A and B are shown apart, each in its own frame.
Chain A
Amino acid sequence: MADTSLSDSMIVARGLRKSFGDFEAVKGIDVEVRRGEAFGFLGPNGAGKSSTMRMIAAVSPVSGGELTILGMDPATHGPAIRGRLGVCPQEDTLDNELNVRDNLYIYGRYFGIPKAEVNERVDELLDFVQLTEKAKSKVEDLSGGMKRRLTIARSLVNRPDLLLLDEPTTGLDPQARHLLWDKLFRLKQAGVTLVITTHYMDEAEQLCDRLVVMDKGLIVAEGSPLTLIREHSTREVAELRFGVGEHEALAEKVADLGSRVEVLPDRLLVYSDDGEEVIAKVHERGLEPVAVLVRRSTLEDVFLSLTGRTLVD
């Protein structure tokens, strides 16, 4: 068994594959996650992110290629790997009939942590995720954001070296998302290696040092959010909203104004380093958009440019 302290690679995947019968969810990906970084898998639903995460969590067997987690092979050292991982699954798998505190305490016991120590950690974690006052509440009485925080607290009960978060903020309101991002940011600063899947580009931009963009089981781009934007998009984007059904026809008339034009059902995106200039020229040509907006390029644009589709369908 390799000692991970000698290496800075927390996860190494080479040609990693996952199939379910005839369906190939992950079609051979190379990934390396280093100690202390926040690494993201960005992609739409069905891109293969969750299948990858389940393999990294040492739950789902690898169908092909190589995978090393914390220096160990999940096929032979699954329990040892899982003992050092924290997993925050896409759907909360909390026990609704137990109270908040018991959910954490019982989970700590699965790792074989002594009772007194679990109790100590549970108090700390409740404080960390701001649920101390809810300690005796039933899980079913919590809001969505509180449940998410509890799930994150639960994933930290074994003081993991590597924290896996599958769509951590899906379905939460903006306030709850920001609170959660703050918690994750603190963990990152404390040196916990984070692996996050998300289909929200703002989340990836907020949290990830480095990320891969996945589509249909493959990695289509890799880098830091800034590099990806620089490499695959322009500095700015002009969004032009016309009447319903007019976008397709009008795209040709503005095609030369930017380096690229994307047609979405409700708007046109013109990619250019100077968005204001695009808008001015649109007006010069006698076109009258119902609404215009100039914004900076985001990972969403990177994804659109790479795959021709939006992240959230």
Chain B
Amino acid sequence: MSDLDRLDQREDGSDQRAGAPDQLTLGEGVRRQFDYWFTVYKRTWRGTIISSFLAPIFYVLAMGVLLGGFIQGDPDKLEGATSYLAFVVPGLIAGHAMQTAVGETTYPVMGLIKWQRVYDSMLATPLQVRHLVAAHLTFVGVRLVMTCGVFTLVLAPFGVFVTWWGAILAFLAQVLVGMAFAAVVYGLTSRMRSEEGFGVLFRLGVFPLFLFSGAFFPVSNLGDVGAWVARLTPLWHGVNLSRMFALDHVTWWLAAVNTLVLVALTAFGWWWSVTGLTKRLVS
């Protein structure tokens, strides 16, 4: 940190005089919030162990191992998976990434905007809205990396990944789908006046997506129309991408489409979040 601190000192010194750089770069703005988010993490990491690690492991045990033991699927019907466990794990992690992302960008964002108004206090400093959004989404990104990473490491010995690089690409796909949800839901939260909408979002958005976006069964089981509806959902793009890489069963043009959709959603979500929070807090 010593180099960074020296940089800090210079910038701090120049801040005290007219002629200071007017806009902080995105990186500098995020870096100045590092201590805040690190403190938040130190305070909350114990709680996240249950939601991040135990709950998904239970899912894998119940769905993948115990329920999956009854399923003797033809690899052709399981999108190339040789066992139900291998089929369900990449989708489960993608679905879990979505849930983590939504969890981190609903109540916590509302709290910072409205309940404790910490964002207001941050905006009284040289920080700007885009710095706040970037730091918050970076924090969500770190959470996603940790939760999906640990998940992948724990399951690797069970032979659910065909190649090591496939596991890494699947992991990146899971983080990407998480980021897409984080950015879009952040934008939604920044426009919501009360937390009542979150219940609807979880019950009618997150939960149905988790169940029907191909994590637990191939979307082709939903019939022609159902399958296409499922393929339009953002989670399916993450599930499909994650699974193709994990099973080393990649259709590259489809992988490109999936990636593009998720990147586009993340970019849209970023724009939607910054404009939403600006309208809300800088009026």
Binding site for B on A (CB under 8 A): 1-4, 20, 57, 59-61, 70-72, 76-80, 82-85, 87, 89, 91, 93-98, 102, 105-107, 109-115, 117, 154, 158-159
Residue B194 lies at the interface, judged by CB distance under 8 Å to chain A? no
Asked whether B15 is an interface residue with its Cβ less than 8 Å from the other chain, the reply is yes
Picked from A60, A76, A98, the residue with its CB within 8 Å of the CB of B22 is A76
Q: Which residues of B contact A97 (CB under 8 A)?
A: 43
Determine the distance from Cα of A77 to Cα of B19 in the docked complex, in whole angstroms.
Answer: 10
Residue among B1, B24, B35, B127 with max Cβ neighbours from chain A (10 Å): B35
Query: Which residues of chain A come closer than 8 Å to B36, judged between CB atoms?
Result: 106, 109-110
Task: Determine if B39 and A110 form an interchain contact, defined as CB atoms under 8 angstroms apart.
Answer: no
Give A3 to B126 CA distance when docked, in angstroms: 19
Chain A residues contacting B28 (CB-CB under 8 Å) are 112
- Once the chains are docked, how many angstroms separate the CA of A113 from the CA of B269? 31
Asked whether, in the complex, the Cβ of B117 is within 8 Å of the Cβ of A91, the reply is: yes
* Mask: chain B, 49-84; 1 = CB below 8 Å from A; 0 = not: 000000000000000000000000000000000000
| Residues in chain B near residue A77, CB distance under 8 A | 22
A109: contacting residue among B1, B20, B35, B282, CB under 8 A: B35
Bound Cα distance from A193 to B118, whole angstroms = 25
Q: What are 21 A-B pairs at a CB distance below 8 A?
A: A2-B18, A59-B282, A60-B282, A76-B22, A80-B20, A83-B126, A85-B124, A89-B121, A91-B117, A95-B118, A109-B34, A110-B122, A110-B126, A110-B127, A111-B32, A111-B125, A111-B126, A114-B12, A115-B1, A115-B5, A158-B15
Interface centre among B118, B122, B124 (most CB of A within 10 A): B124
Contact between A114 and B125 (Cβ–Cβ < 8 Å)? no
Contact between B24 and A79, CB atoms less than 8 A apart: yes
User: Are the C-beta atoms of B32 and A112 separated by less than 8 Å?
Assistant: yes
Taken together as a complex, chains A and B put the C-alpha atoms of A82 and B116 apart, in Å, by 21
Smallest Cβ distance from A13 to chain B, in angstroms?
Answer: 19
Q: Which B residues from 6 to 58 make CB contacts under 8 A with A?
A: 8-9, 11-12, 15-16, 18-24, 28, 32-36, 39, 43
In this complex, the member of B5, B8, B34 whose beta carbon has the largest number of chain A beta carbons within 10 angstroms is B8
Query: What B residues does A61 contact at CB under 8 A?
Result: 282
Given A109-B36, A114-B9, answer yes or no on A1-B124 (Cβ-Cβ < 8 Å).
Answer: no
Quick check: A80 and B121 within 8 Å, CB to CB?
Answer: no
A residues near B12, Cβ cutoff 8 Å: 111-114, 117
Are the CB atoms of B125 and A78 closer together than 8 Å? no
Are A98 and B39 interface neighbours, CB within 8 A?
Answer: yes
Chain A nearest CB from B192 CB (Å) reads 20
Decide: A110 and B32 in contact? CB cutoff 8 A.
yes
> Given known contacts A93-B120, A106-B35, what 7 new A-B pairs fall within 8 Å (CB)?
A1-B18, A71-B18, A78-B22, A79-B22, A85-B124, A110-B32, A111-B32
B128 lies within 8 A of A78 (CB):
yes
> What range describes how many residues of B lie at the interface?
35 or more
Q: Are A110 and B18 in contact (CB under 8 A)?
A: no
Q: Which residue of A lies closest to B37 (CB)?
A: A106
**Is B221 interfacial (CB 8 A cutoff)?**
no
The CA-CA distance from A78 to B126 in the complex, in Å, is 7
Q: How far is the CB of B29 from chain A (nearest CB, A)?
A: 9
With A95-B118, A112-B8, A114-B8 known as contacts, the answer to whether A106 contacts B39 (CB < 8 A) is: yes
CA distance A258 to B49 in the complex (A): 75
Residues of B within 8 A of A89 (CB): 120-121, 124
Asked if A80 contacts B11 (CB within 8 A), the reply is no
Asked if B283 is at the interface (CB within 8 A of a chain A CB), the reply is: yes
CB distance from A125 to the nearest CB of B (A): 16
Taking CB as reference atom, which chain B residue is nearest A89?
A: B120
Taking CB atoms, residues of chain B closer than 8 Å to A1 are 18-19
A96 in contact with B121 given A84-B16, A106-B35, A111-B12 (CB within 8 Å): no
Q: Which residue of A lies closest to B126 (CB)?
A: A79
User: Would you give the shortest CB distance from B205 to chain A, in whole angstroms?
Assistant: 28
Question: B150 on the interface (CB 8 Å rule)?
Answer: no
Contact (Cβ within 8 A) A82 B39: no
CB distance from B282 to the nearest CB of A (A): 6
A60 contacts B283, CB within 8 Å? yes
A57 touches B39 (CB 8 A): no
How many angstroms from the CA of A112 to the CA of B9 in the assembled complex?
7
